[in-house]
Structure 1
Amino acid sequence: MKLISGHEKEQFIVTMQDAFLEDPLYRFLSDDLAVRKKVIRIIFDMITNNDYGTQYINNKIPNAGAVWLHLGPKGHKSLIKSIQLQLRLILSGCIQRFVDMNKPFQKMEAKQKELYQSSDAYLSLLFVSPDFQNQGIASLLLTPELERFDRENLICSLDTFNQRNIPFYEKFGFKLVSEIHFNEHLTNYQMQRRPRSNA
C-alpha cells in the first residue's frame, strides 16, 4: 500500500480518466471524450475535497488505483474549493444532464450518507487502465485493505454505476444494499461489506 501525492497524484488522475472513459455514468453525461475527461477530473476533486480522511492507494501498480474514505471524525472541507468545483462542473459542458438527473442524484447522496453512517470506510474509486484489466490488478489493490478491515472488524461500503462490477465485489464479500435508478440505462448500485470472521 502506498499513499501518493504531487506528480504521482497527477499520473493517478490520468490513469483514472482512461479507466472511467467508458463508465456508464460518464458515457451518459457526455458523448465527447474531452468533456468526459474533464468531468472525471472534477468529480475526483470533489471526492477528495471531503470532510473525511482520504487515502489514495496505489500499491506500486502504475496502471491502477483506489481511493478510500476513512469515515472517522469529520475534518474540514474547503468551502472555497467546493464553490470552485461547482463552477467547474457548471462550465464543463454537461451541466444539463446533471440538472435533468437532480432527483436521482439527491436520492443517491441520501443513500450514500446512510452507508457512511453505518460504515468505517468507503471505497470511492477503484480503477484499472483498460489495457491492464482482467489481470487480477483490482484484486491486488483491494485485498490488503479488506484483510485489514477483517482484522480490525471494520465495515466498508462502495457504490458503482457499472453493473458488471457487482459480481467482482460480491466475490470479496460485498452485498448489494440499494439501487438508485436514474433512467433505463443508468443505475447506481450501493454495496456494503461486513468483516469476515478470522476463525
Structure 2
Amino acid sequence: MIKAKMSDKKWVTGMLASSFSDNPSVNYILSGDRRRPERILALMDYSFELCMRFGEVWLSDDRRGCALLLFPQHKRTTLSSIWLDLKLVLGAVGLGRIGKVLRRERLVSGKQPKAAMAYLWFIGVDPLYQHAGLGSVLLNELLKRADDLALPVYLETSVAANLPWYERFGFKVYDELDLGYRLSFLVKPLTAYA
C-alpha cells in the first residue's frame, strides 16, 4: 500500500468518479443534470482534499485501487476546510440541493458513534480491474493499518451487494437508514490479539 501524494489527486478523483458513478448515495447527493460528470469529480476532489488534511489516502501497490480514510476525531474547522465546504456546495451539490444534503448528513451523523475511529469513506478499484481481488488486498491492508492505530473501522454502503464482501472481512451491520434507498452502517471492531 502506498500513501498518496497531492500529485495523485487527479488520478484518484477520476478513478473514484468512474467507480461510484452509479452509486445510490452519490446519486442522492448530486443532481443528475448535464453537469453531473463535473459534480462527481468535485465530490471526489472534496473527499480527497479532506482526507489528505484529516486522514489518509492510500493507493494499492499496483496503483489500480485507492481508499480514502478519514479520522473524524482529527477534523477541525479551518479556513481551508470552510473553503472546501464552499467548493463542495458550489461545484458538486448545488444551492438547490443543500437542504436535502444537510438533512442527510444530520441523519448519518446521528447513526455514527462519537468516538475515535477510522472512517472508510471511499474504497475503489479502476473499473477495468474490478472483480480481480485488488479491492480485497487493499481492504486487508487498510484493516491492518487501523489495527496499528488501535482504531475500529466504520463505513456506510448503499450497495446491498457489497454487504457480503464487507462481512467476509469482519464488518457487522449495526444500523440502517431509509433515504429512498437503504444505507447500511457497518463497523469492524479492533482485532483482539492474543
Tell me, yes or no, whether TM beats 0.5: yes
Which residue, 133, 143, 147 being the options, matches 2:144?
Answer: 147
Q: Aligned equivalents of 2:159 and 2:47: distance in 1?
A: 20
- 8 Å contact from structure 1 (residues 160, 190) kept in 2: yes
For 2:189, the equivalent position in structure 1 comes to 194
- 8 Å contact from structure 1 (residues 66, 126) kept in 2: yes
For 2:3, the equivalent position in structure 1 comes to 3
Question: What SS is found at the alignment partner of 1:49?
Answer: helix
- 8 Å contact from structure 1 (residues 150, 198) kept in 2: no
Deviation, structure 1 residue 38: 2.0
Deviation, structure 1 residue 68: 1.0
From the superposition, tell whether residues 196 and 63 of structure 1 become closer, same or farther in structure 2 (CA, over 3 Å): same
Give TM-score scaled by structure 1 length: 0.79
Q: Aligned equivalents of 1:163 and 1:95: distance in 2?
A: 30
For 1:16, the equivalent position in structure 2 comes to 16
Q: Percent identity over the alignment? A: 20
What are the equivalent positions in structure 2 for 1:63-142 lying under 5 Å apart? Answer: 63-71=64-72, 74=74, 76-83=76-83, 85-86=85-86, 88-90=88-90, 92=92, 94-100=94-100, 102-112=102-112, 114=113, 117-142=114-139
Deviation, structure 1 residue 97: 4.2
From the superposition, tell whether residues 91 and 11 of structure 1 become closer, same or farther in structure 2 (CA, over 3 Å): closer
Q: Aligned equivalents of 1:50 and 1:8: distance in 2?
A: 13
Deviation, structure 1 residue 50: 6.7
Q: Aligned equivalents of 2:85 and 2:148: distance in 1?
A: 37
Deviation, structure 1 residue 62: 2.3
Structure 2: 5+ residue stretches without partners? none
Q: What is the root-mean-square deviation in Å for CA atoms of aligned residues?
A: 2.9
Deviation, structure 1 residue 59: 2.5
From the superposition, tell whether residues 16 and 33 of structure 1 become closer, same or farther in structure 2 (CA, over 3 Å): farther
Q: Which amino acid aligns with 2:31?
A: S
For 2:154, the equivalent position in structure 1 comes to 157
From the superposition, tell whether residues 63 and 79 of structure 1 become closer, same or farther in structure 2 (CA, over 3 Å): same
- 8 Å contact from structure 2 (residues 46, 84) kept in 1: no
Q: Provide the aligned length of Structure 1 versus Structure 2.
A: 193
Question: What SS is found at the alignment partner of 2:2?
Answer: coil
Q: Aligned equivalents of 1:48 and 1:171: distance in 2?
A: 30
Deviation, structure 1 residue 94: 4.9
**Cα displacement string for residues 85-124 of structure 1 (whole angstroms, at most 9, x for unaligned residues):** 3355245475434534543331112223x2xx23431111
For 1:41, the equivalent position in structure 2 comes to 42
Q: Which amino acid aligns with 2:63?
A: P
